[in-house]
Amino acid sequence: MRTVIGSVMEEPTAGGASPARHPRGRVVAVLAVLLAAVLLGHRLVPNVHGFGSLLDSVAPLLGLGVPPLALAALLRRSRTALLAVLLPAVVWAAQHGPAWLPPGAEAGETELRVASQNLRVDNPDPAATVSALAGAQPDLIALQEVADEERIAPALGRRYPHRAAVSTVALYSRYPIRTEAGVDTGLGWTRALRAVVAAPGGDVAVYVVHLGSARAGHTATRDGTVAALAGAVRADPAGRLVVLGDLNTASTDRSFLPLSHLLHDAQADAGQGFGFTWPAELPLTRPDHVLYRGLTPTTAGVLHTPDSDHRAVTAGFR
């Protein structure tokens, strides 16, 4: 005999027990609850061999687990599983859905446009990369992994007559640069600079930064450079300040908190989408940032330039 309840059919066994598909429905439900738990508490996962940091970095992509779980629940025709799948779906939507809404930046004329690009140290044609970047007409261009400035100078020199450089980072500006100095981020060699730019509306302190790398099993160097940069920003008296560069840290990473407590994220405030930048061909995370204080963002985005393994980040302010 067969009993039909709604659209779910139950085939009792000789002992009246449900068939094996119900445990499978429970498996889907358990997986859905676990996914929701990871979405909510990924920063609580121990950072053993860098796993916690890696999980933080790809947290927005965890939502990709929802569709296959929903499909499995539908195939099993399990109401319990379907209801359970709603949990991670709602959590993901609450955490990351707002990034896809129209930008919430205040309307107004953009007075200062900025862009940042990790050129890639072995870039075969860095001039083509910076030419594409300059095509977006930013007022300030921040570069990291500059191996040979002579190869990019012709593409920038006329439009960006003012320049500051330290080691492998550089800032090109349409506006005069009043002061410049290297910034110690604890790497053992200087890979960051601070410049004061005479921008419209007043001076802006601009940091161009390439922080330490986070590698599998080792994030201590990167974490130390984040803390050092946060310390420099905290001590900086400038009211209007922008940090541009490859921070080797996603905004969802627990290690990013020292900076997010001090600065706003232009992509979060004036962009749309996650703004992933690495790897360039199929970006899965966002190590490149435009952070600010004392300014109002009007726009933010990502630019796919040729020959680099990173996409560029852009933003506008007034």
pLDDT digits (tens, 9 = 90+) for 130-176: 999 999 999 999 999 999 999 999 999 889 999 999 999 999 999 99
Number of H helices, E strands in the chain: 9, 14
In eight-state DSSP terms, residue 164 is E
pLDDT greater than 50 at residue 11: no
Query: Given this model, what pLDDT does residue 12 score?
Result: 47
Domain boundaries, the chain: 3-100, 112-317
Average pLDDT, integer, range 274-300? 98
Amino acid letter, residue 121: V
CA angle 268-108-104, nearest 5°? 30
The mean pLDDT of the chain is 92
Query: Given this model, what pLDDT does residue 20 score?
Result: 47
pLDDT band at residue 281 using 50, 70 and 90 as cut-offs: very high
Collapse the DSSP code of 240 into the 3-class scheme (helix H, G, I; strand E, B; otherwise coil) and give the result.
coil
Query: Given this model, what pLDDT does residue 7 score?
Result: 43
Per DSSP, the residues of 247-302 read -S--TTSGGGHHHHTT-EEHHHHH--S----BSSSS--B--EEEEEESS-EEEEEE
Tell me the per-residue pLDDT of 191-210, one tens digit each, with 9 for 90 and over. Answer: 999 999 999 999 999 999 99
In eight-state DSSP terms, residue 228 is H
Collapse the DSSP code of 136 into the 3-class scheme (helix H, G, I; strand E, B; otherwise coil) and give the result.
coil
pLDDT band at residue 4 using 50, 70 and 90 as cut-offs: very low
Query: Given this model, what pLDDT does residue 23 score?
Result: 66
Query: Given this model, what pLDDT does residue 70 score?
Result: 97
Does the pTM surpass 0.85? The reply is yes
What CATH number belongs to 112-317?
3.60.10.10
Average pLDDT, integer, range 38-61? 95
Query: Given this model, what pLDDT does residue 157 score?
Result: 81
Query: Given this model, what pLDDT does residue 136 score?
Result: 96
Q: Which two tokens stand for residue 5?
A: 């309840």
Per DSSP, the residues of 21-50 read HHHHHHHHHHHHHHHHHHHHHGGGS--GGG
Average pLDDT, integer, range 83-89? 98
Of all residues in the chain, the percent with pLDDT exceeding 70 is 91
Alpha-carbon gap, residue 270 to 299, rounded angstroms: 5
Name the helix (H) or strand (E) containing 241. Answer: strand 241-246
Query: Given this model, what pLDDT does residue 224 score?
Result: 97
Query: Given this model, what pLDDT does residue 1 score?
Result: 44
Tell me the per-residue pLDDT of 211-237, one tens digit each, with 9 for 90 and over. Answer: 999 887 789 999 999 999 999 999 999
Alpha-carbon gap, residue 208 to 237, rounded angstroms: 17
Alpha-carbon gap, residue 193 to 202, rounded angstroms: 20
Alpha-carbon gap, residue 129 to 122, rounded angstroms: 12
Query: Given this model, what pLDDT does residue 34 score?
Result: 98
Average pLDDT, integer, range 278-302? 98
**Omega before residue 279 within 30° of 0, cis:** yes
pLDDT band at residue 103 using 50, 70 and 90 as cut-offs: confident
Query: Given this model, what pLDDT does residue 22 score?
Result: 54
pLDDT greater than 80 at residue 21: no
Tell me the per-residue pLDDT of 184-193, one tens digit each, with 9 for 90 and over. Answer: 999 999 999 9
